[in-house]
Amino acid sequence: MAGFDDEKRRFSSFQLFAALAGFAASYYLSRVFYHVYFGPLSHLPGPRLRAITGLPAMWTTISGKDHEVIPALHRKYGPIVQLGPNELSFAGGAKAWADIHGPKKGVLPHKDPVFYPSSINGANSLMTAGDAEHSRQRKIMSHAFSERTLKEQEPLLRSWAEKMKTKLAERIATGQEIDIVKFYNCTTFDIMADFLFLQGLDLLQDGEYSPWIKNLFNSLKTATIVLGFRRYSSWINDFIEYYVKNNEQARKAEYEHFRNAAERIDSRWNRAIDRPDPWATFLGSLTREEQHVTASALMVAGTETTATVLSGLTYHLLQNPLAMEKLKEEIRSNLRNFDEVTLENLARLKYTNACLQEGLRLYPPVPSGSRAYQFIPGGTVVGVHHMATYRSPDHFKNPDKFAPERWLGDPEYADDHRDALEPFQTGQRNCLGQNLAWHEMRLLLATVMLHFDISPGPDSKSWIDQKVYILWEKKPMFVCLEEVKV
């Protein structure tokens, strides 16, 4: 009899559990059903599965395929695509840029805190600062990136370009292989370190990455995978925020990057130099903690980006020998020797500038763009997708073709929407370093083209087959260089 009672109790507990589970499942399904068919995003195009679950968006991100999958979705569904239950991607050209990022007086796109997690020391850089703090920091920092300040730093920039040229020539003499991507990276990291810390990182000296920079590149894939999971679920995000935020072991790579930048900032103030140091003014107006996070941010934002454009452009020039010849001809006929390679002279070279625009279009350094969030409805993450915009036939004729002429008034490309290209983003949160980036890109490109004939090395055609972990996972690009007497 007792056995029968036990059995009955067990049966009713099972029934209760099943009823609760059934209730939870139907509640969840009805919410999903409501969201997909009647919710505020229900009228927007995109695959139904993506409206139901964030899994496909997570998978696209962690498999490094954002740059292929999202443009393909835009080609199928149009300029607005729902990527996940609360995520929209835009590829609508100039209007999308203006609607999402501005300029709109007084309205800042609020940044997605998942994409821009809090820093190690709790201070904010421009990238993560809230609205009020952002305008204070931006005002302080904008002097450092003005044309006047950059002109003051011209000798420093030119000295690094000259060093790159010397080191490339030395490498040719040794007969060793030349990975041009590495040389561009070594140069841009040395330059940024020299601005920030008053001393380069000695990367160009041997044409090799230091452990700090190797660690930085290696950590991008893990960071993207963590980001994919954080965006998939607010529970996972909360868990990571709670358990990982102050766990130095779990954030080892981040801590190492931060410490490397912070230590060098501290020692910059004890270093005596005999050259102008315009960055002292802006860095000195930030708190020491802000200086640390700002240096950490600039050692990524102001380095790899510029080297990426140069690498992508070199790839496209190697695949388009006629364009390469035209570029060399413009540079060599206008600049007779390195003394004439000045920021002012370089800004006048039309074909050089058109090649760089085309390089930025075909291979934008942050291919997926950043995620701001706005209020359509509250909390929906929105962003303009660079690759989807720039490879869209709605905006550019022959979108996959390298055609610098499209920036030079060629009637064949008269209907291109040139104002859709905004690699530096628009609005109050656009790239503060774009003037510096332009000078640096022109200077390093012209230095290579003036002094060397460059031709493809082994496997260079397939170099472009890459994944994206926030930034391009750039492979080595081996090239054959021959020095030209100028």
**What residue ranges bind ligand HEM (CB under 6 A)?**
126-127, 138, 298, 301-302, 305-306, 309, 365-366, 370, 423-425, 429, 431-433, 436-437
Residues 6+ apart with CB under 8 A from 242: none
For residue 143, give the 3-state DSSP assignment.
Answer: helix
Which pairs count as long-range contacts for 155-158, CB under 8 Å and 24+ apart, including other chains?
155/275, 156/191, 156/194, 156/195, 156/275, 157/191, 157/343, 157/439, 157/440, 157/443, 158/338, 158/341, 158/342, 158/443
Q: Are the C-beta atoms of 410 and 326 separated by less than 8 Å?
A: no
Of 329, 320, 352, 326, residue with least CA distance to 464: 320
Q: For the CB of residue 192, give the shortest distance to ligand HEM in the complex, in Å.
A: 6
Q: In terms of CB distance, is 200 or 423 closer to ligand HEM?
A: 423
Judge contact between 424 and 431, C-beta under 8 A: yes
Taking the least distance from each CB to ligand HEM, the nearer of 19 and 107 is 107
Q: Which residue, 235 or 375, has its beta carbon nearer to ligand HEM? A: 375
In angstroms and rounded to an integer, the radius of gyration of the C-alpha atoms of the chain is 25
Q: Note whether 371 and 195 are within 8 A (CB).
A: no
Q: How far is the CB of 434 from ligand HEM (least distance, A)?
A: 6
**What's the closest the beta carbon of residue 265 comes to ligand HEM, in angstroms?**
15
CA distances (Å), 204 to each of 47, 147, 186, 201, in order?
48, 26, 5, 8
Q: In angstroms, what is the minimal distance from the CB of 306 to ligand HEM?
A: 5
Complex with ligand HEM: residue 254 or 422, whichever CB lies closer = 422
Contact predicate 180/163, CB 8 Å: no
Q: How far is the CB of 66 from ligand HEM (least distance, A)?
A: 15
Quick one: 285 or 332, whose CB is closer to ligand HEM? 285
Q: Which of these, 249, 226, 256, lies nearest to 239 by C-alpha position?
A: 226
Alpha-carbon distance 184 to 313, whole Å? 12
- 431 labeled part of a ligand binding site: yes
Nearer to ligand HEM, 102 or 365 (CB): 365
Q: How far apart are CA 248 and CA 246, in angstroms?
A: 6
Collapsing DSSP to helix, strand or coil, 378 comes out as strand
* Residue 258 Cβ vs ligand HEM, minimum distance, rounded to whole Å: 17
Q: What is the DSSP letter of 245?
A: T
In the bound state with ligand HEM, the residue whose beta carbon lies nearer, of 138 and 397, is 138
- Closest residue to ligand HEM, based on beta-carbon distance: 433
Q: Smallest distance from the beta carbon of 411 to ligand HEM, in angstroms?
A: 29
Tokens of 279: 């960055």
Binding-site annotation, residues:
431
Binding-site annotation, residues for heme:
431
